[in-house]
Copies of this chain bind each other. A is one copy, B any other.
């Protein structure tokens, strides 16, 4: 038991001349023969400490500690001589150490120095040494942006009177298709992991009109790209009594503008480390997919075989939107029936759907649209898609009870952070990512 309360490093300058207790990790240690300097790091910052030989026990301990040791320190907050390192928030002070206790030693060889501002290691090294890597400030900061994103999303949804719900991730049937589901042994039968909360959030509309969910999404897709993982956190929403799917885009646009605003305001340091920026104009451009394909052909000489857009097309159309509308966001609307799920509301022409994708900095971050709310129309559409209505019995039940017109979206949380910060891979935006080969740490 310690009798002095711990002071966070960021608060230490307030205690100039006073005796404080600090706790944290050894960020670096420099032995200048007589004097030993240790940079101590905690969640709030880094501060220089100086240990003089007169403090015999502290000096001995300071000799022994190495990078990443966890220590508890007591000492006086002094003005830093020579006014060095004024650029950091604690650069005007140093700690004259009276006492050092080692809480934990390091029991492994450290493969690199996490105190460096840029780690400059490859993706596998980043992921294999995750526990160490996450201590690097620049990498650590990714997750401060992620925290802000989660906070902003929930706030934006509540402001618009959406109720937060949690829906089951274990399903009795592999709905919505089938191939992309992970199979579970559930007591003496088989079950599946949810690849979206789609059906349950639609059920939520029947009870609450407006619902949102922040939850795990599992996709058994054998992708090896910079934008896919097999487990991610979806930011879902569904809203009833819409007049058209424009209402859904309006709502999503307002959520993303708030997220962009909050991150710009509250994560300035993190954004500047990554030279991150977000261009979120008052209105995001909205164009039909077919129009986007024409633009790609006309402006970039890129022809499409199908009425669909590929990753390169998404990248180029974002370039176009940025140039023409100063927007990092663009809605592509009216995807053809052939590339959308059976519950998508068909447009009046019968060929396209009342759906959209939201593309952000070259990558699709959200997919959404209006859903069919009429029981008979939905049942017929299941047949039209070559599926069996009996496989969707529980889903269809929702629509027998009187459902309002409705629509919603699924938004990928990690892709947003990846693109805001310009990370090469989505895996860098996930604490412990899961892909086809990686289930550890």
Contact = CB atoms under 8 A, between A and B. Distances in A.
Contacts of A166: 146, 150, 216, 233, 413, 430-431
A403 interface: yes
Interface stretch (A169-177, A271-279, A282-290, A349-357): A169-177
Interface in A335-387: 373-376
A231 interface: yes
A69 B374 CA distance: 12
Interface string A66-88: 00111000000000000000000
Contacts of A200: 431-432
Contacts of A244: 1
Nearest to A185: B183
B184 A164 contact: no
B431 A204 contact: yes
Interface stretch (A99-107, A292-300, A309-317, A321-329): A99-107
Nearest to A395: B441
A118 interface: no
Interface residues of A, number: 95
Contacts of A187: 220, 222, 436
A149 B160 CA distance: 18
A217 to B, nearest CB: 10
Contacts of A430: 166
A179 to B, nearest CB: 12
A168 to B, nearest CB: 5
Contact of A375 (B107, B243, B399): B107
A43 B210 CA distance: 9
B215 A216 contact: yes
A293 to B, nearest CB: 27
A207 B134 contact: yes
Contacts of A34: none
A147 B163 contact: yes
Contacts of A431: 165-168, 200, 203-204
Contact of A207 (B26, B131, B172, B207): B131
A401 B203 contact: no
Interface in A390-404: 394, 397-404
A2 B184 CA distance: 46
Contacts of A436: 187
19 contacts: A23-B404, A42-B241, A104-B373, A104-B399, A104-B404, A107-B375, A107-B376, A107-B399, A134-B208, A143-B207, A146-B166, A147-B164, A168-B231, A170-B218, A170-B434, A183-B185, A186-B220, A187-B436, A215-B216
Of all A-B residue pairs in the complex, the 3 with the closest CB atoms, nearest first, are: A134-B207, A172-B439, A108-B400
